[in-house]
Structure 1
């Protein structure tokens, strides 16, 4: 647990001030003294959970090395930006220099006294020159801003018609984000200040369910068709097309996921084990000649690593939202970042429904279900209708819309589906329907006919 307090207006901070403000558990601290009762920063932490060392005080920030009891160490910089434009430019240059001296995962957080986007202010009076300076600092240091939940702005001038800005923010380097994929940044109330407090948790359980993904490479593996045909079975007593198709797809997804995990297992673990064995052979080769069997195993493992790395990239590429990159542009780390990049932004920490705040996952699911169920409503008979002839509108001949879709038409649509992207939320991609058409076409056609013919008519075989 680390607490950062800005604008302390204190020239000296001692352990007694920390104990008065923070309590007995915060027994570690450092501070940046205020200048003529202006500014000032202090950072306090619980030494039983985390240690901060290598403190450096710059003009407007404190930098320290954070060593948690569990996890990878990282650099923390707490900032309180100055007011004047010249001082702000010097402040950003100072931060860039500090970054060059602090390699590795880095988090910089605090009051920058600068906005980054036009949407960070509720009025059109913008200093675009200084906005560009902050943007250049972010780009030049390859930083990413953590998404702020709950609020759009963090500061108010507290007037009757207030000016609102977002000047308190957190930036991270890519390595820090990879180490803390479940971090969550939230804005709290302003309490007695004109700023709102920022609350950053590093391990927020986001309850992301593992979704089924039909992997593109499965169709090239031996045994795929056998596993699929064995799984595509349903109780013959279930004749309703929608229920039957749903059960068939669920059974197939479960069987393919189990088979795929058994055949491939953990790709990262296999690569790591293979690299360890290759390194052992590399070290042995420096002192003696390898045997024929050792050379064969080393060569086989190198081919295995190459194949698994390509397979890992293929999986990440399939799940990535970036579709325009060419093969030569592929980068596994980039694709993994893209695949998980929106999870933190899309996460909903709490909901308010009927005046009640809901934070648990099950309660949020029920709230969404109830809200959308009420939104859709129920199908009821209309008491009134429109007389189109009286309005002078000629009715159209819609008899062709009742025509049954032919199997050839449905197959043409299936062939046009994107082969490596999921057109539906069940995780099956177009490649699955194309490869499995001969087996699934009967159930799929029956469900489509039932959908367009309506529940009051029999489905077409």
Structure 2
């Protein structure tokens, strides 16, 4: 492995944990022209680092993990992560192979170890960590036992950190999804997954399992609502113009039903979305409330944006980053930044 590093990756900095484990279970390669990586501590199952992005001067904490196979051996790792979580003030990521899943449906081919999964969940809850959203396959590892008992295959991870101006929108349930003919069957089919753990964790798991299916439903039936409403209305008006010329035509009456049903469903969905975004009581305004809703949304957006603020020291803070730091520092002073927590037994 060292020969490979010297041959292909000489321009990168190398950090390992050979001093903590004879096999050197973790290798970290970093580009010194892009990031400055500082090792804070390391052990058999982890390397904990501070990572500075040189161009933006943004700093995060990253813990690279390769957990041991047995649940009892991972207890030490969970306690270490708990200790690292206390008093942290920087964004923190934990990446790698935890050798355990959060839920039984994230693993196939063997009997899941419930105690090991519960220890993992308890650790994440204590540390304030959550499973990062992802795209791609659910299963990221295969032991390739049919090929050779000593061959395994891990899928690589590509983590993208957005710039300051690009905010990740949180998942939001849209009331219009309930208008879909397949909504009830969709919920009934997938709501049964994620029943392990406590009630709050079980609810979180169910919602996480449903999220990708709701997004697919939205993309299939409710994407581009405004344009689809306009197109459906145009088709309906064409049919009604033809009916004006032949009002007793049964084929035209039957032909009108499909665009009418489509327009009614799409328009109802659009009103629900606008109503949900505007967060106002339903008022009987002209144009099916559309203009009123759009005006309400514009007002809410302007009210929910803080462009400038004066901090506790009297400094005038401008821009998203400075305003965020002002709020963060205020509540740190008010509430404190550390707390006493009990360790996992």
What's the TM-score, normalizing by structure 2?
Answer: 0.47
Q: Which has the larger radius of gyration?
A: 1
Flag the structure with more relative contact order, 1 or 2, with Cα contacts below 8 A and sequence separation at least 6.
2
